[in-house]
Each structure stands twice: as structure tokens, then as C-alpha cells.
Amino acid sequence: MAEKNMLELRNITKTFGSVVANRDVSLKVEKGKIHAIVGENGAGKSTIMKIAYGFYNADSGEIIFDGREVSIRTPQDAIALGIGMVHQHFMLVEAMTVAENIILGAETGSAAHLDLDKAESEIRKLSEDLRLGVDPRALIEDLSVGQQQRVELLKALYRHADLLILDEPTAVLSPQEIEDFFAILRRMREQGKTIIIITHKLDEVLAISDEVTVMRDGRVVGNVTTKDTNAKELARMIVGRDVLLRVEKPDAHPSNSVLEVEGLSVRGKHEIAVDGVSFTVRAGEIVGVAGIEGNGQTELVECLAGLAKSMSGSVKFDGSDITHLSARRRKELGIAHIPEDRHRRGLLLNSDLAENAILGFHYRPPIASGGFISSAAVEKRVTDIIENFDVRPPNAELLARALSGGNQQKLIIGREFELEPRLLLVSQPTRGVDIGAIEFIHRKLIELRDSGAAILLISAELEEVTALADRLLVIREGKIAGEVDPKTTSVEDIGLLMTGGGE
């Protein structure tokens, strides 16, 4: 009789120093199914899958693959067995082509005579079979985030993976890209592939998976068939308590204009990214910006934060022109910025949490005085952020890169909130963040609004931006396509504005 399970993990335990990441974890993944693994940041989801992929080695326990016990000490061992993994942060070389990235480390022929034509032909066929729409000769730097995600899939499939592990696969995709991506996963399942998805997004779990394993505090706390559960039950298992799945917020009471943008244009990598945009954000309100990623949101926020220059137009803050002020000067005036790319713009990954907690504040009282940094002030700042924003593990000496994506995000949000900003520019606030932390961050944003701050919120999560925003701007091709009331406008109508489908 054919083996029913593609992967079985038995009694896996893994520690990092004094931290127990996985404690006696056992789970089974059935062949030809899409299996979701859910849990809070730090629950041990990524660690257990990195053990299955050979990225980490377990302290104890067994791995059974396709019916036999195996030793997976390295990713090469996993790849040889037919296991592929797509990591949360893509591992692509931007200056190389799709084909060159895919064959990197799995080259056809000798190093002196790489058969790139053969590789491109195989990659093109794989892409066509799954209707991925990826050109093997395209440069990675010219591809959208969604297309880069497909390249990562192709990389695993090119190595003949039968089991695919996807770590937060939709964290950087737009709603439309997620729909397309799920269609691809379903086609892969039809072809007999087994897929494991590590995710925080319960609506996606319910939409795409066949089975769900729930983890909490390094343990498995539940295994359920997807059709027999719901978002509320999953959230309760994940967090260990009832969770508000949609933020509750009182009506806004906006007052004076804090941010005034007039005719702002910003150049992108190849063309004009923001084209003559005008809007205001008032104290005591959240103005949301909805749009498919790549329509100028990144360039708009980076220009407002002082990280990119404008081509034309003006930016006023509290009535004063700040169009040509530096990022540092804007922060000193009370403008905080939570960037969409936490690695490139938000953190020093090879520095500890204490150093990251004072970024942008390191030269100002109470952190610095007379040219010297106060270690007591630094310790207080990082301790406050760790405690108030539940950063795990709570160790100020850890390097930022040692944190999960969600805990990195909480560290950045805590740091920017410490500024007590007059204006908060926030992009993708809950990207890669678990269900309990999402509830917490949403509540913090509402509290900041109600304290009188002005907030400009950019999110690819349509449900998030409509739940939080008091007014919603829709951006398309660098222009404001419309302003709507999120309380009275349907998601479908907003989607039509985002795509131009209503014209």
C-alpha cells in the first residue's frame, strides 16, 4: 500500500541556548495536500520547517519522509530527497536573470560550459505548465514582487521538489497577486505536489489549505481539517484566548491639517512613480492609501519621510514647508516612519536590539548628552519597547536578524511610537505579524490617532486599510484615482478603482 504521508515529524525538540524553540513537536503532512502551519511569532513554525529542510538540526526526534526515516543535516540533503523551501525573504540576485538565479547551485554541465539554453528551455516549460508567466531571460530587478515569488517557486520545482515548504508566501503580495498565487498552488496540488504553508493569515488558511496544524509556545496545540474549522476557533487556538478579528474604533474627531501635499511628483527607478498627487492628513485621523503594490506608494512615503527627493510640488508640515528638509530634520520635527521594507530601511540586522531601539534618537537627549550615550537611557528605551510591544525573545543583546519577521516589525513600531509623533507615516504595519500582534498593533494605531496624531497608512491588505482608515485614498499609476469613505464603500468598488476596472 502506498505511503499516505509525505512528511512526518516525531518528537522534535530544538533549543537555542536557553530558548526552547520546538518542544516535542509531532506532525503529519499528507501527500497531495496543502497543509497550513499557523501560530504567533515565536511559536516555532519556521524553526520546525527549517529542521525539515536541513537549515537547522534537531536536538532530538525523527524525520520520516515518504515512509522512511531520513537524516536531513543540510538543505542539500533535503533537496536531494525532493524537498524545496521558499523563504519569507527572497534569496535572489537582482542583477541576474531568472534562469541564472534558478540554476545557481544546480548548474547544468561544467562550470566552463553551462548549458543555459537547456536550462531556459526547462524553466520555460515549467512556467507554462503551471501558467506562471515568467520569462527565463528577464532580469530579477525588473520583476514585480509577485513575479519574484514565482521565480522562487520555479527554483524549487527545477530541483524536482515533490514537497514545497512556503514561509509566509503572501506577505509581500497584493490581493490580486494572492489570488493568482493560490490558483498556481491548486494547480500544483492537482499535479500531485505536497505543499506546506507557514502563515499568519487565517482567511488565506481557510481559502487554500486542506489541513491545519496550530502551534503555540513551541508546541503543537491542535490539528484540524480546514473545512471543519473557522477563523475564530483558529485564532483562539493560536493565541490561547478570544481575539478581535476586526479592530473596534470610535469615530475620528480630526482637527487642523498636519500634512499638506500639493502637486507632488517623484521619480521611480525607471519612470515617474508619483504624478502630481495632492491630499491632506489632519490631526486625529488615519488616512489610508489603497492600491496594488508598485503604483507609487513606496516612492510617496519615502519622499514624505525625506528619503527620496521630489521632482515638483510641495510638502507642508504644521503649515511650514518641509519639501527640501532631510530625513533627520523631519524626525526631529515629530515625523515618524515605519517602512515597508524592515530590512533595508528599518533595522541594522547585525546590531543588537538595544542599538536598533535608539536608531534616529542616538544623538538626542535623553539617550545622548554632551556627546556621550547614556547606557542607562539606552537600557530603559529598549526595555520599554520590548515590554510594551511584546518583542520576543526579550533579550536586548540579541542581534536584530535573530528575531522573527513579526518581532522585527514590533521592534520598529515600538521605536517609532517612542517618538510620540505628530505625524506617523506607516507602510505595511502588520506584514509578517501574527494574529495576536495584529490586534495589538491596530489598537496602538487607534490610540495614537485618538491622542491627536495624524497618520498616513499604506497597506496592501485591503481589509486592514478599510478597517483602520477614516478616509481612504486609492492610488493607481502614481495618481490619486479617488477618495472614498471606507465605512460605506464596498471592497469590490475599491478594487475597481485600484485596477481602473470601473472606467
Q: Could you tell me the domains of the chain? A: 5-239 (3.40.50.300), 257-334+421-499 (3.40.50.300)
Q: Of 409, 405, 438, 39, give the one whose Cα is nearest residue 243.
A: 438
Q: Classify the C-alpha dihedral 394-400-405-409 as positive or negative.
A: positive
* Average pLDDT of the chain to the nearest whole number: 91
pLDDT digits (tens, 9 = 90+) for 484-493: 999 999 888 8
In terms of DSSP bridges, do strands 471-476 and 285-290 run parallel, antiparallel, or are they unpaired?
A: parallel
Share of the chain above pLDDT 90, in %: 66
Geometric angle at alpha carbon 101, from 100 and 106, rounded to 5°? 85
Q: Which residue has the higher pLDDT, 475 or 495?
A: 475
Half-sphere exposure at residue 182, Cβ-oriented, CA atoms within 13 angstroms:
15
- The answer to which of 52-66, 294-308, 483-497 has the lowest mean pLDDT is 483-497
Gap between the Cα atoms of 468 and 482, Å rounded:
18
Gap between the Cα atoms of 141 and 144, Å rounded:
8
Across 316-331, average pLDDT:
97
Across 123-134, average pLDDT:
88
- The answer to which of 160-174, 318-332, 375-389, 390-404 has the lowest mean pLDDT is 160-174
Model confidence at 377: pLDDT above 60: yes
Supply the pLDDT for residue 407. Answer: 87
Model confidence at 187: pLDDT above 80: yes
Whether the Cβ atoms of residue 210 and residue 225 lie closer than 8 Å to each other? yes
HEC readout, 175-217:
HHHHHHHHHHHHHHHHCCCEEEEEECCHHHHHHHCCEEEEEEC
Across 165-172, average pLDDT:
84
Supply the pLDDT for residue 501. Answer: 67
Supply the pLDDT for residue 130. Answer: 84
pLDDT digits (tens, 9 = 90+) for 341-369: 888 889 999 999 999 999 988 999 999 98
Supply the pLDDT for residue 1. Answer: 53
Supply the pLDDT for residue 248. Answer: 82
pLDDT digits (tens, 9 = 90+) for 385-439: 999 998 988 999 999 998 877 789 999 999 999 889 999 999 999 876 778 778 8
Supply the pLDDT for residue 110. Answer: 42
- The answer to which of 4-13, 51-60, 72-81, 88-97 has the lowest mean pLDDT is 88-97
Highest mean pLDDT: which range of 90-104, 130-144, 328-342: 328-342
pLDDT band at 300 (very low <50, low <70, confident <90, very high): very high
Model confidence at 132: pLDDT above 80: yes
Across 446-451, average pLDDT:
96
Across 184-209, average pLDDT:
93
Whether the Cβ atoms of residue 423 and residue 281 lie closer than 8 Å to each other? yes
Confidence (pTM): 0.73
List the beta bridge partners of residue 471. Answer: 287
Whether the Cβ atoms of residue 357 and residue 385 lie closer than 8 Å to each other? yes
Supply the pLDDT for residue 483. Answer: 96
Amino acid in the structure at residue 140: I
pLDDT band at 104 (very low <50, low <70, confident <90, very high): confident
Model confidence at 107: pLDDT above 80: no
- The answer to which of 238-247, 325-334, 452-461, 484-493 has the lowest mean pLDDT is 238-247
Please report where in the chains the cell 496602538 appears, as a residue: 444
Highest mean pLDDT: which range of 120-129, 432-441, 451-460: 451-460
Across 324-331, average pLDDT:
96
pLDDT band at 111 (very low <50, low <70, confident <90, very high): very low
